[in-house]
Amino acid sequence: MAKRVLPARETGLFVDGAPAAKAIAGYRANIDGGSRGNPGPAAYGVVIRDPKGDVVAKLKKYIGRMTNNVAEYYGLIAALDYVQSQNIKALRIESDSELLVKQMRGLYKVRSPELQPLFERARKMSETLESFRIDHVYREQNREADALANQAMDEVEAAAPKSAKLAAIPTPKPETRGPLGEVRKIRARFRSGVLYLLEDVDLPDGIEVDVLLRLLPPKS
């Protein structure tokens, strides 16, 4: 008599492949986080759909001066918090952040001190669900969540006092050549004691720059 071979049982919440054998009709959440400056003004957006595919919630929130990765985790936690509050037991997360997805699946270690507590919180929250899955999707498939995050940042930017608009300009150094000596004019906004750059300067961490502040008249 041939020996019956049972299928291997999936272990853990964060593994690649199909979800556990116990099928549960679940909700789906698309999450996204953005930062203008990285770190800079940041927000998250979340779109949650029921098992039929109907949108049941749209969440967005400005979270202050953060990095993109921190904002992504805030979006994940917001989605988990929503399903817990609604007593939903099954959730599939879709995110265009490969880092977040692979960290939650245990494929990447969480080395960042600012991400570690957020990862631990998200992991513990996900473990309270009967079914949890997280998948990476391309940005084009995550446009609604991305739009919500940008809306949250736009709303805060629009509400900032116009009289506080500043321009941040690195001090010219004519004798210096190359990328590190490049002079660039960057628009910025001052709010609550912090100068926020309004565009990505793409500079390495730890670099120092000279900044000349020039007050601009409010737009009419």
Q: What is the pLDDT along the chain (220 residues), one digit of tens a residue?
A: 444 443 333 333 443 443 443 446 799 999 999 999 989 999 999 999 999 999 999 999 999 999 999 999 999 999 999 999 999 999 999 999 999 999 999 999 999 999 999 999 999 999 999 999 999 999 999 999 999 999 999 999 888 765 444 443 343 444 434 455 566 677 676 654 456 666 666 665 556 666 777 776 665 5
Closest by CA to 93, choosing from 134, 41, 61, is: 134
pTM for the predicted model, two decimal places: 0.66
What residues have CB less than 8 Å from 217, skipping those under 6 apart? none
Buried b (16+ CB within 10 A) or exposed e, 149-172: bbebbeebeeeeeeeebbbbbbee
Amino acid at 52: K
Predicted local confidence at residue 173, as pLDDT: 42
